[in-house]
Amino acid sequence: MIYEPSEDSELLLETALQEVKEEDTVIEIGAGSGFVSEKLIRKCSFLITTDISPFATKNLRKKGLNVIRTDIAKGIKKKFSLVLFNPPYLELEEEIKRDFWEDCTVHGGREGIEVICRFLDTLKDFMERKGRAILIVSSINCSRVFEEIHKRGYIFEIISEKGLFFEKLYAIRISLQE
């Protein structure tokens, strides 16, 4: 019911540790187990987490993290200098779906990019004008994700990657075009 840290979580953590500055205000979208935020909380000026799952938010609160139960960052009015997101990026076929809370940790919707597109559609609502977002994407659908980023007027660069036997994971930095 809570996404357990894996290679993608480790890539987000490694990248976030290189990216975070003491003055940053940070939001981790879909924080799950809290694996990343637990290690960043003392390295920035403010950190909040979100998750759609009641199981994850309960767990995050137990770990002493500020958490809001919401879909992506819906309803959050504050703007952040650093946004972190390790989204679900697989498309689960109907026959392997189990239950909503379990599926939402890995099911990214059609072609595995629907959740990412919703994130990109709302990013300007909670990222500072000069802010940056770190997004984890997979070689499975990264070309589609890159198209969607450009369509929305963002620029991006691949800042880190991790090869697995069946895919490559990328940590990309997204910002607004100046």
145-155 residue pLDDT tens:
899 999 999 99
pLDDT at 107: 43
Q: How far is CA 39 from CA 66, 154, 162, in A?
A: 14, 28, 20
Instruction: Judge residue 46's burial from the number of C-beta atoms within 10 Å of its C-beta, 0-12 exposed, 13-18 middle, 19 or more buried.
Output: middle
Residues of the chain predicted below pLDDT 50: 92, 97, 99-104, 106-108
pLDDT at 92: 43
- Identify the sign of the CA torsion 20, 24, 30, 32: positive
Q: How far is CA 155 from CA 25, 111, 133, in A?
A: 21, 22, 11
pLDDT at 1: 61
Taking the C-alpha atoms of residue 66 and residue 71, their distance in angstroms, rounded to an integer, is 16
Q: How far is CA 105 from CA 31, 40, 93, 114, 156, in A?
A: 10, 21, 14, 13, 25
Domain 7-176's class?
alpha beta
Taking the C-alpha atoms of residue 13 and residue 35, their distance in angstroms, rounded to an integer, is 8
- What amino acid is encoded at 69 in this protein? R
pLDDT at 15: 97
Taking the whole predicted model, whether its pTM rises above 0.85 is answered as yes
